[in-house]
Structure formats: C-alpha cells, structure tokens
Amino acid sequence: MHTAPLTFRIAAPSDPDVSNVLTLVRSAYRGDASRAGWTTEADLLADERIDHAGVLAKIAAPDGVILMAHDETGALASCCELLKRPDGKLAYFGLFAVDPTRQAGGIGRQVLAEAERYAKQELGVERMEMSVIWTRDELIAWYVRRGYTKTEETRPFPYEHLVNGKALRDDLYFSMLVKDL
Ligand SMILES: CC(C)(COP(=O)(O)OP(=O)(O)OC[C@H]1O[C@@H](n2cnc3c(N)ncnc32)[C@H](O)[C@@H]1OP(=O)(O)O)[C@@H](O)C(=O)NCCC(=O)NCCS
C-alpha cells in the first residue's frame, strides 16, 4: 500500500487548523459526508459530534493533546486526541478521524502508530485505552488487527452531551479496548 508521507504536529489554541480539526471530525463521524469512508456513526447519531469549544478544551487540557497529521500539500488529513489518565500509566485515545475521501489508504494506521509512539515516549504511559460504540464491529476488528484487546468493560454513552442533534438509537454504550505499549 502506498501511503503519502505525513507531518505530525500538536495543536495549540491559536493554531490556524483548529477549525479544520472541527470540520474533519464532523465529516468523518457524522452525516452523509462520512459515508464516503468505510466506517461511520451516521446511522447511530445525528448530531455534530463536537463543537469549537470542545476542541479547544481538549487542546487546553493539562494532560491532553490533539495530534494533527498533514499531508505533503499541507492539508489536514487526520487527527486524534491523547489524554493522560491521573495514574500516569494510561492514556486515552480518541477523536480519531481521517478525511473520509482519503480513508482505507493507510493514513489511519500511520496516525495510530504515531499516537502510540507519542503516548509512550512523550507522555510516558505504558498502556492505551479507547472507547468504541459496541455496534461497530468492523472498527473494533481494525483495532484488534492493530494489537488492541476488547475488554469486558463497558461505559455509558453520554446521551446528555450530544452537540446540536440527537441519537438515532437508545441502546448505545461503549466497549473499552486496551493495548500495552
Ligand atoms: C477509523 C479511521 C480513523 C481509519 O482510518 P483509515 O485511514 O481508513 O485507516 P487505514 O487506511 O490505515 O486502514 C483501513 C482499514 O480498513 C479496512 N477496510 C477498508 N474497507 C473496509 C470495509 N468496508 N469494511 C471493513 N474494513 C474495511 C482495510 O482493510 C484496512 O484495514 P487493514 O489495514 O487492517 O487491512 C477512519 O476510518 C475514520 O476516520 N473513521 C470515522 C471516524 C471513526 O470512526 N473514528 C474512530 C472512532 S473510535
């Protein structure tokens, strides 16, 4: 698989790409734009996933970062968040998005690998965790192929925090996946 080289950068509050992060995340997770990709939450949720203040809060979190990946033209191709948990040994991985028109070309694999490197070397953690909506078998299988284990742990879906929209199902919850780094 040929994959274009990516340049990684941690987002700052004043970063000109903050609004692009918002657009990217929304387009990858929700609505018809996300159907261009191979996995989407468009049939589960009809909200906006996150708002500008939500992105800024993640950037400003003392133990958190948003990692951005730009392609050779300088366009934002992917992003994710890493949040170091209070025990100092575990990082949460989330907000993972690849431009839906460019998925299935190896970008996601590269970004996850860089996130794991960053979590281990820069945040100093030993383990990564992530939450995936339980219905998303194809996505869980992708993470399992990347070395993650689906645990028995589940967490409630935050129905009360949906952004400008609604859920399309009332039986959602998260499955927790973990990987030793
Ligand atoms: C999950 C996501 C980040 C992966 O990014 P990506 O650039 O497509 O990832 P890659 O190109 O590295 O990998 C694509 C994989 O999809 C697989 N794939 C492609 N089409 C598929 C399909 N129709 N069904 C299942 N798997 C498929 C490929 O086989 C490949 O897996 P492999 O490398 O193990 O063979 C991206 O799809 C995305 O942004 N999804 C929407 C947001 C989301 O769900 N984020 C994660 C929330 S926890």
Site to probe by mutation for ligand 1, drawn from 6, 30, 32, 39 as the one with most ligand atoms within 8 Å of Cβ, is: 39
What does residue 89 show for φ and ψ, rounded to 5 degrees? -110, -10
| 114 confidence band (pLDDT: 50, 70, 90) | very high
Query: How far away, in angstroms, is 178 Cα from ligand 1 center?
Result: 18
What is the mean pLDDT of the segment spanning 35-48?
A: 96
pLDDT 10s digits, 129-177:
999 999 999 999 999 999 999 999 999 999 999 999 999 999 999 999 9
Query: How far away, in angstroms, is 85 Cα from ligand 1 center?
Result: 26
- How much is the pLDDT for 1? 54
Q: Is 62 exposed, middle or buried (0-12, 13-18, 19+ CB in 10 A)?
A: exposed
Alpha-carbon distance 10 to 25, whole Å?
A: 16
Query: How far away, in angstroms, is 176 Cα from ligand 1 center?
Result: 18
Its sign, for the CA torsion 28, 30, 33, 36, is positive
CA distance to 33, 112, 164, per residue, from 108 (Å)? 18, 6, 27
Alpha-carbon distance 113 to 8, whole Å?
A: 12
- How much is the pLDDT for 84? 98
Ordered structural domains, the chain, with CATH? 7-130 (3.40.630.30)
Site to probe by mutation for ligand 1, drawn from 78, 98, 136, 137 as the one with most ligand atoms within 8 Å of Cβ, is: 98
DSSP summary character for residue 82:
E
CA 132 to chain centroid: 10
Does 114 contact ligand 1 (Cβ within 6 A)?
A: no
Query: What's the length of the chain?
Result: 181
